[in-house]
Amino acid sequence: MNIEEIATKIRESIGKRKVQTAKFHLMTYSRDWSPREATDTQLPDIVVRPTSTEEVSKTLKIANEYKIPVVAIGGLTGMGGGAVPINKGIVIDTKGLNKVLEVDTKNFTVTTQTGVTILNLNNELEKYDFWCPHDPESKPSSTVGAAISCDNDGTFGIKYGKMVDFLLNAVIVTGTGEIVRVGHRKAYCTSSGYKLHWLLIGAEGTLGIVTEATLAILPKPETRAIEAFIFPSISDAAEALMRLLHSGLSVESAHINCKNRLGFYTHAYRTKHGKDPDIPEWAGALLFVSFNGDSEVVNFSNEYSKKIMKLHGGEIVKEREIVDGWWRSKHTLEFEPFLQKWPDSQRIKKFGSADLGIPIGRLEEAYEKYLEFTKKHQIEILGACVYNERPNKVSPSISFAVFVDDSNPDEVKRFYNYVRDMSKMAIDKEGTMSTYIGDGDRLGGFNRYEHGISLDYMWELKKVFDPNNILNPGKKFKSKWIKEY
């Protein structure tokens, strides 16, 4: 049976308007934000936009019957190629699954279809004076399903954690089209059975397509205070942050930027004033922190934090426009037209990154390797940002970012050689290759350097959920870009 006949069969099953095969429809789904050659477009054969779990199930049953690859797609803001249809086949556009099904303020949960964007979910929760604190910068387009499948970072991870801390249960459709609910309903913890819903975190759609999720939510905080401090080095800033947490203060967000990275986050400032922000030459790092809650507690926390920062050699950033501009870039996204870092700063070269987890005591060593490897591969430094993504812990999730000219195939190749060297370095320093981008089609296979024989167990686990390997094949287990070590 050819592709048009299969498309017709899906149309007959879920509705004519929900299935597209025209090239101008397919082009939309041909690439994500991962650095790829400008001419590298991976068109699927069929695009399906279902509106229910049952329609996803019907589509996957047909795909499984004919062994056609299926890739679930959210907002296509991923940077690892996780949602690129490199084997053609069927793309399932999950944005048709866009209903918030229940807001349960009594039990502090929301149940939603997973094509809802994080921004739209919180806009709905705001009507009830609640929020879901998982807050990636890509929230206008990043969907709930993508946040689960990619395990991306959020602004408020140091207080609230990542998606694993919010996901209570999920409905998935397996590779055979079976509908399965995994997790523990609305309870916040369980010791019954295996925690299968946690397997979905970072699985990149290789185990099942997540169509519905129940998430923990919280009342919106009364107020917030944001400050920034400069330090001689990244390790100095990390030590100060550690002391801040040990003091008993509840930090809402904490991000350490090297001096280069500040330039990316203050793109609007540079465009407006024609110069970079005035930061002393001796400053090697900037620590941005915020506190939220009742105003009296926030005010106390903010003032007390200044004392701790000073004791550790930190100086407050006095130019408020820098702090407010960074916060707009990180959270509120309230930009003047064409002055935001996305997409204005990307007009000539794209953002690329090695997203590493590095042990706390080795941050400075890793930063030195970042400088060494960018020079070795002749890649332009964008800057490093240390996110912190575990509650009440200095928990580095680091974006070692660079600029990549995707019109230059050699530079794209050099970028992935840079990612390879950085990823291997992270494992050699007892860290991890990826903390928010995922394996995608860049680290698969090479990630055996991190996982060893356990990668074989992961493959066996995939076969339980997806016996014919139709769900996002070619991701996590092999790489388009990096040869196995």
The confidence score (pLDDT) of residue 338 equals 55
Answer yes or no: is pLDDT of 337 > 60: no
Query: Phi and psi dihedrals of 84, rounded to 5?
Result: -80, 130
Q: How confident is the model at residue 326 (pLDDT cuts 50, 70, 90)?
A: confident
- The structural domain count of the chain equals 2
Domain membership flag for residue 367: no
| The last residue of a domain, from among 298, 317, 343 | 343
pTM: 0.94
Structural domain that includes position 280: 223-343
pLDDT, one tens digit per residue, over 66-111 is: 999 999 999 999 999 999 999 999 999 999 999 999 999 999 999 9
Same domain, 35 and 98: yes
Instruction: Please state, as a whole number, how many other Cβ atoms lie within 10 Å of the Cβ of residue 413.
Output: 13
Answer yes or no: is pLDDT of 349 > 90: no
Domain membership flag for residue 160: yes
Same domain, 180 and 280: no
Domain membership flag for residue 349: no
Task: Work out the average pLDDT over 163-187.
Answer: 97
| The last residue of a domain, from among 325, 343, 361 | 343
Q: What is the domain-level CATH number for residue 323?
A: 3.30.70.3450
Same domain, 258 and 323: yes
pLDDT, one tens digit per residue, over 40-61 is: 889 999 999 999 999 999 999 9
Domain membership flag for residue 31: yes
Domain membership flag for residue 379: no
| The last residue of a domain, from among 312, 343, 374 | 343
Domain membership flag for residue 336: yes
Domain membership flag for residue 355: no
